[in-house]
């Protein structure tokens, strides 16, 4: 395993982190808690030290699973727990709320679910345009000074938002999406983080499973699986992305004797300024390719070839914008939170 550091956190962070969105039991076609716990234990056995979760993943259920896994395993001080704040449940979904009141409410619930008295990395999940960034930053600074959190991070923030935020509170990390198919963050966010000393935890390294190499044209998604509405999984784009994955798989086998999954993770890790790539395994066996990610690097010629494969195969690309939750607006008389969305 490769390791890195995040400002304010003494425990080294593994460059592959365990993502737990799917362990929340919603939006990914269901999950099994016992299997999720075994997966987290398997990740720890492999040297993964960073577990990323959020209250929005299954309305707190993912945090409960992480808390159970760590309680059963022990060694809390050797694990970096990264969770998030700022998405308030509303109906069947969530809306953005990064107000001071909401943050102080959420942290107590997260600490209880995680069965811990501190959070290593507390990240604002999405920018809330109805709350001044300065209010959010001050609230997190107060929580840090109270010892409830070790370090402060943001997710899906713009450069302007991060600049305003860190005039009030120290910012240790940013979490943008990044994978072979969604690389907008390489143009601005990641270079800015690198220049300003922020760690980057990138999510979506396997692009909702596309880059596992296991999906086919007849793959079907059931229940509330978010891929049923993901534009990448709809025709005619889906065939384009599958064509790119097939070519990348052939390249990975021929050049490195590896699958496309470790190739995709290695691509993320080899981008300048990347600290951690989050990987959302749901079963212990899905972590087997971790060993194939470590101990090698992609050279410039390989990176250029992979770029050409994506550009030639995907003629109608689309980003991850569909995942953005609704914004909040000031309430009108007689309306409850988010009643306008």
Q: What is the 3-state secondary structure (H, E, C) of the chain?
A: CCEEEECCEEEEEECEEEECCHHHCCCCCCCCHHHHHHHHHHHHHCCCCEEECCCCCCCCHHHHHHHHHHHHHCCHHHCEEEEEECEEEECCEEEECCCHHHHHHHHHHHHHHHCCCCEEEEEECCCCCCCCHHHHHHHHHHHHHCCCEEEEEEECCCHHHHHHHCCCCCCCEEECECECCECHHHCCHHHHHHHHCCEEEEECCCCCCHHHCCCCCCCCCCCCCHHHCCHHHCCCHHHHHHHHHHHHHHHHHHHHCCCHHHHHHHHHHCCCCCCEEEECCCCHHHHCCHHHHCCCCCCHHHHHHHHHHHHHHCCCCCCCHHHCCCCCCCCCCCCCCCCCC
Highest mean pLDDT, choosing among 29-38, 52-61, 257-266: 257-266
Paired tokens of 143: 């929580």
- 79: nearest Cα among 53, 44, 34: 44
> Does residue 337 register a pLDDT over 50?
no
pLDDT at 276: 97
Give, in order, the Cα–Cα distances in Å from 263 to each of 18, 164, 215: 18, 36, 16
Contact 309, 63 (CB under 8 A): no
Going by pLDDT thresholds of 50, 70 and 90, the confidence category of residue 336 is very low
Residues 6+ apart with CB under 8 A from 147: 118
Average pLDDT over every residue of 217-239: 82
Question: Of residues 57, 157, 203, 238, which has the active-site annotation?
Answer: 57
pLDDT at 259: 94
pTM above 0.75, yes or no: yes
Provide the pLDDT for residue 120.
Answer: 98
Average pLDDT over residues 63-79: 95
pLDDT tens-digit profile of 164-219?
999 999 999 999 999 999 999 999 999 999 999 999 999 999 998 899 988 888 88
Q: pLDDT grade, residue 106 (50/70/90)?
A: very high
Strand-pair partners of 334: none
* Residue 229, pLDDT score: 80
Overall average pLDDT of the 243-263 stretch: 96
Contact between 247 and 309 under an 8 Å Cβ cutoff? The reply is yes
Per-residue model confidence (pLDDT) at position 30: 63
Q: Could you tell me which of 106, 92, 173, 171 has the C-alpha nearest to residue 133?
A: 171
**CB-hemisphere CA count at 13 Å for 277?**
27
Work out the average pLDDT over 66-85: 95
- What percentage of the chain exceeds 70 in pLDDT? 94
Q: What average pLDDT is seen over the chain?
A: 90
Evaluate if residue 280 carries a pLDDT over 90: no
Q: Which listed CATH number (3.20.20.100, 1.20.1440.120, 3.40.50.1370, 3.40.50.150) goes with 3-212+268-295?
A: 3.20.20.100
Residue 26 confidence (pLDDT): 61
- Average pLDDT of 11-36? 82
More confident residue, 231 or 151: 151
Per DSSP, what are the bridge partners of residue 87?
96
Position 197 scores a pLDDT of: 96
Q: What is the pLDDT of residues 123-171, one digit of tens each?
A: 999 999 999 999 999 999 999 999 999 999 999 999 999 999 999 999 9
The answer to whether 98 and 122 are in contact (CB under 8 A) is no
| Distant-in-sequence, close-in-space partners of 47: CB < 8 Å, separation ≥ 6 | 1, 14
pLDDT at 84: 95
59-73, 214-228, 311-325 — which one is most confidently predicted on average? Answer: 59-73
Q: Which two tokens stand for residue 78?
A: 């050797």
106 versus 95: the higher-pLDDT residue is 106
- Pairing mode of beta strands 119-124, 149-155: parallel
Query: Residue 146 has what pLDDT?
Result: 97
Verify whether residue 90 is a known catalytic residue.
Answer: no
- Mind listing the pLDDT tens digit for each residue in 284-311? 999 999 999 999 999 999 999 999 999 9
CA distance 59 to 33: 15
């Amino acid at each position: 395993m490769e390791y890195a550091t995040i400002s304010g956190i003494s425990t080294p962070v593994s460059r592959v982190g365990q993502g737990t969105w799917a362990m929340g039991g919603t939006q990914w076609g269901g999950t099994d808690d016992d299997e999720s716990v075994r997966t987290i234990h398997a990740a720890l056995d492999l040297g993964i030290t960073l577990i990323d979760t959020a209250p929005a993943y299954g309305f707190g259920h993912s945090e409960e699973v992480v808390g159970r896994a760590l309680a059963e395993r022990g060694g809390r001080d050797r694990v970096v727990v990264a969770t998030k704040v700022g998405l308030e449940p509303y109906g069947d979904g969530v809306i953005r709320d990064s107000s001071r009141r909401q943050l102080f409410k959420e942290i107590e619930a997260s600490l209880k679910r995680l069965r811990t008295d501190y959070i290593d990395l507390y990240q604002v999940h999405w920018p809330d345009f109805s709350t001044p960034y300065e209010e959010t930053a001050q609230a997190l600074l107060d929580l840090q000074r109270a010892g409830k959190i070790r370090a402060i991070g943001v997710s899906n923030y713009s450069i302007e938002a991060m600049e305003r935020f860190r005039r009030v509170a120290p910012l240790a990390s940013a979490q943008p999406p990044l994978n072979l198919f969604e690389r907008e963050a390489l143009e601005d966010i990641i270079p800015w983080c690198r220049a300003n000393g922020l760690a980057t935890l990138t999510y979506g390294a396997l692009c909702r499973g596309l880059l596992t190499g296991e999906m086919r044209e007849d793959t079907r998604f059931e229940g509330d699986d978010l891929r049923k509405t993901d534009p990448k999984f709809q025709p005619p784009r889906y065939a384009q992305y599958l064509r790119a994955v097939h070519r990348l798989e052939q390249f990975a086998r021929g050049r490195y004797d590896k699958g496309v999954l470790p190739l995709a993770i290695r691509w993320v890790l080899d981008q300048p300024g990347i600290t951690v790539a989050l990987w959302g395994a749901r079963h212990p066996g899905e972590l087997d390719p971790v060993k194939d990610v470590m101990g090698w690097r992609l050279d410039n010629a390989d990176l250029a070839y992979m770029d050409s494969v994506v550009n030639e195969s995907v003629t109608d690309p689309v980003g991850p914008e569909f995942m953005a939750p609704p914004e909040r607006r000031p309430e009108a008389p007689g309306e409850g939170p988010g009643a306008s969305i």
